Amino acid sequence: MYLIEERTALPNFISIPHAAKRLAKANRVLVIGCSGAGKSTLSLKIAERYGLEYQSYDRDVRWLPGWQVRNRAEQRARVLALVGRERWVMDGNTPSTLDIRLPRTDLVVWLRVPRRVCLMGIAHRVYSNYGSVRFDMATGCPEQLPDREFLSYIWTFEKKVAPRIVTELDRHDPSVPVVILPARKSSESLLSS
């Protein structure tokens, strides 16, 4: 688990009420967080509420049918094309493409919930979608049981991935405001403000 000081160490951190005001005016929103945190669900709600195009990193960038990963060069080319559009909300962490996404982003929403919440989110997702393709996943990639590597990614996200995200946020556009949502109910607060 992380400390509050770590969560707010970003110089561009803003409160949920301030973020809600920015969200109402934003043309381009990036939603990041650990797998199972609720990125896709929140992104879709933001897209519907504010008339933004929903872009799923998993569906539109990373995956090919049969759970094949697109090569990095093609992923970067696809991200460049997507972020060039005028009004969007994109979910997905991938620190290696934040250099492309951040300069075009008006607001970063970071679902930084405890790992137990993420693990429960994955359990619910598998239970609800097992064997079928989710709305945010590429064609030919049906929901499956999580493997040990995926569960380890979730378990160690705060230790291994979150620091890289903070570094990339600072490096590529420290002026982009970031709101951190520490609980699922924080998403509701952001949307209802």
User: Using CA atoms, how far apart are residues 43 and 39, in angstroms rounded to an integer?
Assistant: 6
Q: In what order do the strands lie in the sheet with 178-181?
A: 53-56, 88-91, 28-33, 107-111, 178-181
Domain boundaries, the chain: 10-192
Which letter does DSSP use for residue 176 in this model?
Answer: S
| Mean pLDDT (whole number) for 147-164 | 96
Identify the band that residue 11 occupies on the pLDDT scale cut at 50, 70 and 90: low
* CA-CA-CA-CA dihedral for 36, 37, 41, 44, to nearest 10: -120
CATH number given to 10-192: 3.40.50.300
Q: Which residues pair with 69 in a beta bridge?
A: 63
What is this structure's pTM? 0.92
The token duo for 188 is 């509701």
pLDDT higher than threshold 80 for residue 154: yes
The answer on pLDDT for 4 being more than 50 is no
Which pLDDT score, from 0 to 100, does residue 3 have? 38
Say which residue, 183 or 6, is predicted with more confidence.
183
Residue 76, pLDDT above cutoff 70: yes
| Mean of per-residue pLDDT scores for the chain | 92
> How large is the average pLDDT for residues 95-120?
95
CA distance 187 to 123: 20
- pLDDT at position 73: 97
Contact 10, 170 (CB under 8 A): yes
